[in-house]
Amino acid sequence: MTDGTQPPYDFPAYTSTIKRHPKRALIEAPQTLSEVTGPTFASPWYGPNATDLSRVDGREAQGQRIIVAGRVLDEDGRPVRGTLVEVWQANAAGRYHHDGDQHDAPLDPNFIGAGQAVTDDEGRWRFLTIRPGAYPWRNTYNAWRPAHIHFSVFGPSFATRMITQMYFPGDPLLETDPVFHSIPDAAARNRLISAYDPQLSEAEYALGYRWDVILRGRGATPVES
Amino acid sequence: MAIPTSSQTIGPFFRAALERPAWSDLTREGVAGEGVRIEGTVYDGDRTPVPDALLELWQADANGSYTHADGRFRGFGRACTDHDGRFWFRTIVPGPVPGANGAVQAPHANLTIFARGLLKRLVTRIYFGDHAEENVRDPLLASIEDAAVRATLIAPRTEHAGGIPVYTFDVVLQGAGETAFLAI
Ligand SMILES: [Fe+2]
């Protein structure tokens, strides 16, 4: 896509792109059965839903409890039903449960930061979690990633498969984050920021943030012979 | 029409959620067809292995069908690269798949690549080197004029005494030998 709503591969402000972006133009491949089909999640081969990230074995994680919820929709606003949504995030201190995370912030034994859900008939998903902390990364000196939750979404076909990040409103780190700013179009960029939703908040318990994912169309539906 | 949500990088810390070692073996619940391995290494523009990539495979069954009515073989696999940038899938060679306007597509597996440093995923296809005649007639391969670029999509087959055949498919993100990536 070249309309500025998707990031480029080559974006040197995010230094990891420098040696990892292809230099040759992509080859235009017409959509065939291979692209308009994709894995389905009707039987639970992918494992059970895991929508409560806020505790491990009943022990509460440290941090601000939040509810994050939304829908997966297609370009026409129709719900994308029964598709797998996987999420991961840093803990409240900005540290991932991951061997490669060397940030000197505390790990929380009661927070793994991974979840998954299959969307319901309205395309809805919902997670109870902990507000992730910002974390430093070595992209440039003293660079910090704004708080975010990573989202992986399948949709109905191989062509709709995508991974993105959800941000939080009012985060001052968004102003300078090159990953966020890799999206040229400001309106598209800002749609990655969730909205505080008092209706979603639970009294005396957790703050609510709402965010929807819009998937591209799957293309024409061919008949398999 | 609503604008599709923008992509962002998978980043380096996805393993707690996305790493599913069992999913590298598409045949783990059994399937009809010859069992094969697809293996390779992901390289960056310095030909340095990429140890933090995630690859997903989507393919038809031995009859060239994507409906996977069998229920055991789902045609979907996921693998993460190891410290040396290597990945593998165990699967079967799919059958030929219908293409546009009555054409037939050579057997192929669809591959997508996510990694730190990729702000959006890459897409490519793995064709099978011993299916030379079908590959010659494949519409997508035929549309690639540069033979060296076309060759990056074709995985050579190696027989292993006492083991299953291996198709080798390296993914070169940039530079010499750069894999042919697709806009779909
Ligand atoms: Fe992150």
Which chain B residues contact residue A182 at CB under 8 A?
8, 119
Q: Looking at the domain assignment, is residue A135 inside a domain?
A: yes
Mean pLDDT of A19-27: 98
Expressed as residue numbers, the domain containing A166 is 42-214
Interface contact A16-B9, CB threshold 8 A: yes
- B60 in contact with chain A, both atoms CB, cutoff 8 A: yes
- Label residue B1 by pLDDT band (50, 70, 90): confident
Nearest CB neighbour to B16, from listed A29, A97, A159: A97
Q: Looking at the domain assignment, is residue A130 inside a domain?
A: yes
Q: Which of B1, B13, B27, B73 to mutate to test the interface with A (most CBs of A within 10 A)?
A: B13
* pLDDT at residue A25 greater than cutoff 80: yes
- A98 in contact with chain B, both atoms CB, cutoff 8 A: yes
Q: Looking at the domain assignment, is residue B44 inside a domain?
A: yes
Q: Looking at the domain assignment, is residue A1 inside a domain?
A: no
ipTM: 0.97
* pLDDT at residue A29 greater than cutoff 70: yes
Interface contact B9-A90, CB threshold 8 A: no
Q: Looking at the domain assignment, is residue B183 inside a domain?
A: no
Which chain A residues contact residue B74 at CB under 8 A?
39-40, 45
Interface contact A24-B120, CB threshold 8 A: no
* pLDDT at residue A205 greater than cutoff 80: yes
Asked if B38 and B94 count as a contact pair (C-beta separation under 8 A), the reply is no
Q: Looking at the domain assignment, is residue A50 inside a domain?
A: yes
Expressed as residue numbers, the domain containing B53 is 13-172
Indicate the SS3 state at residue A195. Answer: strand
pLDDT of residue A225: 34
Structurally, chain B folds into a number of domains equal to: 1
pLDDT digits (tens, 9 = 90+) for B2-39: 999 999 999 999 999 999 999 999 999 999 888 999 99
CA distance A206 to chain B (A): 23
Q: Which residues contact B102 (CB under 8 A, 6 or more apart)?
A: none
pLDDT digits (tens, 9 = 90+) for A135-191: 999 999 999 999 999 999 999 999 999 999 999 999 999 999 999 999 999 999 999
Interface contact A114-B12, CB threshold 8 A: no
Q: Which residues contact A175 (CB under 8 A, 6 or more apart)?
A: none
Asked if B16 and A112 count as a contact pair (C-beta separation under 8 A), the reply is yes
pLDDT digits (tens, 9 = 90+) for B70-80: 789 999 999 99
**Would you name the residues of A annotated as active-site residues?**
96, 135, 145, 148, 150
Summary mean pLDDT of chain A: 95
pLDDT of residue A218: 63
Q: Name A116's bridge partners.
A: A50, A86
Structurally, chain A folds into a number of domains equal to: 1
Summary mean pLDDT of chain B: 96
* pLDDT at residue B169 greater than cutoff 50: yes
pLDDT of residue B162: 87
| β-pair type (A162-167, A148-153) | antiparallel
Q: Looking at the domain assignment, is residue B123 inside a domain?
A: yes
pTM (2 decimals)?
Answer: 0.96
Q: Which residues contact A53 (CB under 8 A, 6 or more apart)?
A: A61, A87, A89, A111, A112, A113, A114, A115, A127, A128, A129, A130
User: Which helix (H) or strand (E) segment is B140 a member of?
Assistant: helix B139-142
